[in-house]
């Protein structure tokens, strides 16, 4: 589909699924290189709900033992960030003393990833590596290093591959941008 309608808005295809798979392959290669031969068992934390497709695809490409957990944070209402990050569901996996790979679907302002990093460290994580499928470098203004970035994109509102507009569009395999 070249265009989709979700609620009151129309979105046009922006990034095809094949390009997303290439980016995930590249991220997996970097993560595997960094954790190759590790004797500990790191834990990958998926930020629900948006990072679910990305985390699942990435997790299946890991070549080392790794636990999987999740957390649910929220900062968006409609097409805009509220500026406040809420913990909707706490961590489902113990991170104390472990190296953590924190997976996000998208990093824009960085408020959510900063809150996630602080949550993981407060729960005793030994190390936190930040991994995101998408980065909006034009609006990211935090000092937190992003260790793994799948793709950089402009500061446009997008849906698909886990990203939604008021709950719709997460199941689209491609990524769509708001059609102005």
Phi and psi at 75, nearest 5°, equal: -140, -5
CA-to-CA dists, residue 9 to 53, 122, 163, 170, angstroms: 23, 39, 15, 15
Q: Return all residues near 62 (Cβ < 8 A) that are at least 6 apart.
A: 28, 31, 32, 35, 44
Contact yes or no for 114/144 (Cβ under 8 A)? yes
Residue 62, domain member (yes or no): yes
| Average pLDDT of adjacent 10-residue blocks, the chain of 180 residues | 96 98 98 96 96 98 97 70 69 95 95 93 97 97 95 97 96 96
Residue 117, domain member (yes or no): yes
First to last CA, the chain: 17
Residue 171, domain member (yes or no): no
- Residue 82 pLDDT: 59
- Residue 180 pLDDT: 83
Reply yes or no on whether 108 is catalytic: yes
Tell me which H or E stretch contains 20.
helix 17-35
- Residue 177 pLDDT: 98
For residue 99, the enclosing domain spans: 17-155
For residue 126, what is the domain's CATH number? 3.40.50.2020
- Residue 51 pLDDT: 97
Residue 170, domain member (yes or no): no
pTM over 0.75: yes
Residue 26, domain member (yes or no): yes
Contact yes or no for 162/170 (Cβ under 8 A)? yes
Number of domains the chain contains: 1
Per-residue 3-state assignment (H helix, E strand, C coil) for 121-174: HHCCCCEEEEEEEEECCCCCCCCCCCCEEEEECCCCCEEECCECECCECCCCCC
Residue 162, domain member (yes or no): no
| Separation between Cα atoms, residue 113 and residue 95, nearest integer Å | 16
- Residue 42 pLDDT: 98
Residue 10, domain member (yes or no): no
Residue from 8, 34, 40, 108 carrying the catalytic annotation:
108
**Which contacts of 80-84 are long-range, i.e. CB under 8 A and separated by 24 or more positions?**
81/108, 81/109, 81/111, 83/109, 83/111, 84/111
Residue 164, domain member (yes or no): no
- Residue 163 pLDDT: 96
Contact yes or no for 53/59 (Cβ under 8 A)? no
């Amino acid at each position: 589909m070249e265009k989709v309608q979700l609620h009151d808005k129309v979105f046009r295809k922006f990034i095809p699924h094949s390009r997303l798979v290439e980016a995930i392959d590249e991220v997996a290669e970097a993560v595997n290189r960094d954790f190759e031969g590790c004797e500990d068992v790191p834990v990958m934390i998926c930020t629900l709900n948006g990072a679910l497709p990305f985390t699942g695809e990435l997790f299946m490409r890991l070549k080392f033992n790794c636990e999987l957990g999740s957390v649910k944070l929220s900062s968006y209402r409609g097409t805009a960030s509220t500026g406040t990050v809420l913990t909707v569901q706490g961590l489902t996996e113990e991170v104390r003393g472990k190296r953590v790979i924190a997976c996000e679907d998208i990093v824009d302002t960085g408020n959510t990833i900063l809150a996630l990093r602080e949550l993981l460290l407060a729960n005793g994580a030994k190390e936190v590596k930040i991994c995101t499928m998408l980065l909006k470098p034009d609006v990211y203004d935090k000092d937190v290093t992003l260790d793994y970035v799948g793709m950089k994109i402009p500061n446009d509102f997008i849906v698909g591959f886990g990203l939604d507009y008021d709950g719709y569009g997460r199941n689209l395999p491609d990524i769509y941008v708001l059609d102005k």
